[in-house]
Every structure is written in C-alpha cells, then in structure tokens.
Amino acid sequence: MMPASSQPTPAREIAERLTALFWKRPGILLALLLAPPLLWLGVVYVGSLIALLWQSFYSIDPFSGVVVREFTLKTYGELLLPQNYDIILRTVTMAAAVTLASAVLAFPIAFYAARFAKGRWKAVFYLGVMLPLWSSYLVKVYAWKLILAKEGIVTWAANGIGAGSLLDAVLSIPVIGGNSLSTSFIGTFTVFVYVWLPYMILPMQASLERVPKSMLEASADLGAGGLRTLWSVTLPLALPGIIAGSIFTFSLTLGDYIIPQIIGNSANFIGMAVYSLQGTAGNIPLAAAFAVIPILIMLVYLAIARRLGAFDAL
C-alpha cells in the first residue's frame, strides 16, 4: 500500500533527492548501510582482539604483581614452562578425542536423516538436532552433573543391572578414572561430546545430502556391497562436511572452561587457565597469551580444513 502522493513536503523532498542519489551512486547507499555494523564490529570486536594481542606482549612484575606495559616475549616464554605446556597438551588431546567421538556418534544420525528420513520424520530429525543445539548450555551441563553424580542415575542403573563392579573397574583406570564419574576425565569427555554433538551432525548431514544417488547406484551396479559403498563412495564424498563439523567440535572444546570446571578432576584446561589468570591472579598478560594459543591452533586447523575442501560444506 502506497500513501497517496500529495504536495511535496520538505521531508518528502529530501527522501526523493536521496533516492535519486542512491540510484546514481549505489556506492553511497552501500557505504551508509555498512558503516554502522562495520564500525561496531571493527571497534568493539577487532579492537578487542588487538587489545588481546597487545596485552599478551606485556608482562607482569613477579614481585609487585603489577602489569609492566613494555613489549616483551617473556610472557609467551612462560607458556613453555612444563605446567603450562601440560595444560595446552591436555586441552588439545581432549579436543581431538571429543572430535573423533562426535564424528562416530553423529554419523548414524546424519546418515539416517539425510538418506532415509522423509516428510514428517525429516522435521523430527531436524528439530531433534536443532533443539539440543540451541537449548541452554548451562542447563545441559547441569543435567550431566545430576547424571554423573556418585549417587546419581548412572550408578543406580549400573547397580540395577549388576554392573556396579564394572563401573568401579572403569573408574579405577588411572588418569581417565576418578572418585566418581563427575570428577573424572571420562565425565568431562562425555559432557563435551554431548554438548558439541549437534555441531557435528548438521554439516555432516548437509554434505551427506549432497552425495548424488546415482553414484550409490553406480557403486551397487559395479557389485559393491553396502559397507563397501559406504567406505569407498559415501564417506570420501561426505568428508568435507565431517571436517567442517570437526572445526566446531575442536574449536569449542579448546576454548571451553565451564565444563572441566564443573565436571572433572580440576586438572587445568586452557580456558580455565585463562579465566583464573585474568581473575584472581590478575595476570592479564599471561591470560592473553594463553588465549592466543587456541587462535593459533585454529588457524592451522582451518588452513588444513580449507585444503581438504571443508569450506564449501559450511
């Protein structure tokens, strides 16, 4: 519905002139549209990233605990101390394990949704992945605190089916075991997988949907069985999607600090180190240097993923 054009009011005249200007010089309109979001992202976000890098080249005076505002590589050198190097190694190992497990668990869901789910079931699968993806992160972590608690449902179920001794045997494994599931690496790992699994399913499903049916038929015509087709045709074609998903699971695990803080044996992860260093310890330079590590790891990871064609699957 268009308002009837009456006498040209001043406001209307300005609008007409601007319209003519935008028509003649589309670049001006483009610049006007882009200026507010770019200013925001440029100042608030890129500015902050630069501040982060900047802080990481400062250091802290070991005696007074005051930040020395002079450029130095000393803080990065501290990352190589055994206790800090351990944190990095532990986090990367966890991220790799979580990524592998997510890929294995995600595959049946993604494959079923892409190939066999039709109509109503397609919507069920879509919502079935989308809702856990979006629902509250903290609520999800809390749910697992209830599940993994020593007096919780897992212990109850294990005792119920007579597998209580099996659970104790698993928990007595050194390193990954612990006092209870909620204070062991097994627990931390399980919760990580649970929380990031939807991020793996979605790109995997998208890339599986793009595998042409004709290829699968050709494979069957050439005499390949189901497993052979899966291994030699479907998986290689779906690989970019799997790698795209692994970018999320890997990066999100690298940067998380809530999960290992709430469920785990209080061994440090990169995120926890960053949080405690900037807070109670007041060592912002070292916290910043720690935060740069995931960025560097992800840059390398992204470079490899790009080479494997994962970006077309995002």
Partner 1 sequence: MRSDRPPFILTAGAIGGLLFLHLPILLIFLYAFTTEEKSYQFPPPGLTTEWFGVAWNRADIWPPLWLSVKVATIASCLALILGTLCAAAMARARFFGRDTISLLVILPIALPGIITGMSLRSAFAVADIPFSMWTIMLGHATFCIVIVYNNAVARFRRLGSSMLEASADLGANAFQTFRFVILPNLGTALLAGGMLAFALSFDEVIVTTFTAGTGNAAKTLPIWMLDELVRPRQRPVTNVVAIVVFMATFLPILAAYYLTSGAEETAGGGK
Binding residues for partner 1 restricted to 229-248, rule: CB under 8 A: 229-230
Q: Does 183 bind partner 1 (CB under 8 A)?
A: no
Q: Does 309 bind partner 1 (CB under 8 A)?
A: no
Q: Does 161 bind partner 1 (CB under 8 A)?
A: no
Residue among 41 and 169 whose Cβ is closer to partner 1: 41
Q: Does 89 bind partner 1 (CB under 8 A)?
A: no
Residue among 5 and 172 whose Cβ is closer to partner 1: 5
Q: Does 76 bind partner 1 (CB under 8 A)?
A: no
Q: Does 48 bind partner 1 (CB under 8 A)?
A: yes
Which of residues 3, 82, 119, 223 is near partner 1 by CB under 8 A?
Answer: 3
Place of tokens 């608690």: 149
Closest approach of Cβ 85 to partner 1, in Å?
19
Closest approach of Cβ 15 to partner 1, in Å?
5
Residue window 186-225: x/- pattern of binding to partner 1, with contact defined by CB under 8 A: --------x--xxx--x----------x--x---x----x
For residues 61 and 68, the answer to whether their CB atoms sit within 8 Å is: yes
Which of residues 18, 89, 173, 308 is near partner 1 by CB under 8 A?
Answer: 18
How many residues bind partner 1, per CB under 8 A? 106
Q: Does 44 bind partner 1 (CB under 8 A)?
A: yes
Binding residues for partner 1 restricted to 253-272, rule: CB under 8 A: 254-258, 261-262, 270-271
Closest approach of Cβ 174 to partner 1, in Å?
26
Structure tokens at 237: 């074609």
> For residue 11, which amino acid is it?
A
